[in-house]
A = this chain, B = another copy of it.
Amino acid sequence: MTIGDVARTAGVSVATVSKVINARYGVAAATSRRVQDVIDELGYESSLVARSLRSHRTNVIGILVAEFEPFSTELLKGISEAVADTGYELLAYSAGGRAGREVGWEQRSLSRLGGTLIDGAILVTPTVVDPHEGIPVVAVDPHTGPSGPPTVDSDNLAGARTATEYLLGLGHTRIGLLGGRPDLESARLREEGYRQALAAAGIAVDPDLVRVGGYKPDVADQPAHELLTLPEPPTAVFAANDISAIRTIEVAQELGLRVPEDLSVIGFDNVPESALCVPPLTTIAQPIRQMGAEALRMLVDLVAGVEREPHLRLPTALVERESCRRLDPVAPGS
């Protein structure tokens, strides 16, 4: 079913059908109606692909992700809510599982779709972003600094400091850090916040207590295990994201440790999964859905050529649940 079928059925040329579809001037009312009737009758819808190849305006916004995991899907919900009245449609593209390992998925996806299919793109946690893209781009939680494309992120530094101070306030001094993807600026800032809070409390960072996690359950597995089987293990762990925090809790439990009695764990992100975990995870909340909504608004403005402040940073907040506990004032035997 193509525009040609419609044209033939209506007894006009494809050009005329195209004009009717796109509400261009220069079509007689009678012709227009007849064509419209045929379109309705046949249930014809123009191919987004063919149209985009030619016209370079599609009314579709792309969301480019490495994978559909809790963070990106949460963002998607926020974007979806915000898109409602804009007239845009949404196309979320994941370069398949391979992308997790393969760097440069952002550029690849952008090249594959950017030329024609989408009018603008939201890049979710991209590592590298070529500043001179063909289409407007907004990056959420990117690696880039203030240069590069417009960005939306949250206050990772303050959030990490809050997390660490919270643990400190609970009497913990041996606090482990399970870091995030090293290629992400947010992960770097979270580690920095951890170090700042410790320094402010006059506690030296024990290098043994600092591990690189990642952002996937299986990647967090080994470093979490190492951390918890140390000769002098931490009494609390700050994991740089909820997924690795949840995995840390599971590893602790496999090791016979009770959370929070024997080990306190705090995460970062506040993805819905953090509430489903047993015990429910105490974490630093990012306003993920709001970040998505803001990224979309920013991008829509960009596509429309509206000037905007190019960087938006949203606040984080502590969400207390049940995975952290005050350290007993005197450890038995000490």
Say yes or no: is A166 at the interface (Cβ < 8 Å to chain B).
no
In the complex, identify which listed stretch (A113-121, A145-153, A225-233) lies at the interface while the others stay far away.
A113-121
Interchain CB contact under 8 A, A97 and B85: yes
Shortest Cβ distance from A103 into chain B, in angstroms?
Answer: 13
Interchain CB contact under 8 A, A90 and B96: yes
| Per-residue contact bits, chain A 272-298, to B (CB 8 Å; 1 contact, 0 not) | 110110001000000000000000000
Interchain CB contact under 8 A, B87 and A46: no
User: With A and B bound together, what is the CA distance between A47 and B115 in angstroms?
Assistant: 7
Interface residues on A, range: 35 or more
Give the residues in chain B near A67, CB-CB below 8 Å: 80
Interchain CB contact under 8 A, A111 and B43: yes
Main secondary structure of the interface of A (DSSP, over half): mixed
Shortest Cβ distance from A137 into chain B, in angstroms?
Answer: 16
Residues 96-112 of A at the B interface (beta carbon under 8 Å): 96-98, 107-108, 111-112
With both beta carbons as reference points, the residue of chain B lying nearest to A113 in the complex is identified as B48
Interchain CB contact under 8 A, A49 and B52: yes
Interchain CB contact under 8 A, A68 and B80: yes
Residues of A within 8 A of B (CB): 1-2, 43-50, 52-53, 67-70, 73-74, 76-77, 79-81, 83-98, 107-108, 111-113, 115-117, 271-273, 275-276, 280
Give the residues in chain B near A280, CB-CB below 8 Å: 275
Give the residues in chain B near A76, CB-CB below 8 Å: 68, 73, 76, 92
Interchain CB contact under 8 A, A96 and B107: no
With both beta carbons as reference points, the residue of chain B lying nearest to A108 in the complex is identified as B45
Shortest Cβ distance from A294 into chain B, in angstroms?
Answer: 16
Give the residues in chain B near A97, CB-CB below 8 Å: 80-81, 83-85
Give the residues in chain B near A83, CB-CB below 8 Å: 94, 96-97
Interchain CB contact under 8 A, A88 and B96: yes
25 contacts between A and B (CB under 8 A): A43-B107, A45-B108, A47-B112, A47-B116, A48-B113, A49-B49, A49-B116, A50-B53, A50-B115, A50-B116, A53-B53, A68-B77, A69-B77, A73-B76, A83-B94, A84-B97, A87-B96, A88-B96, A89-B94, A91-B93, A92-B93, A272-B272, A272-B276, A275-B275, A275-B280
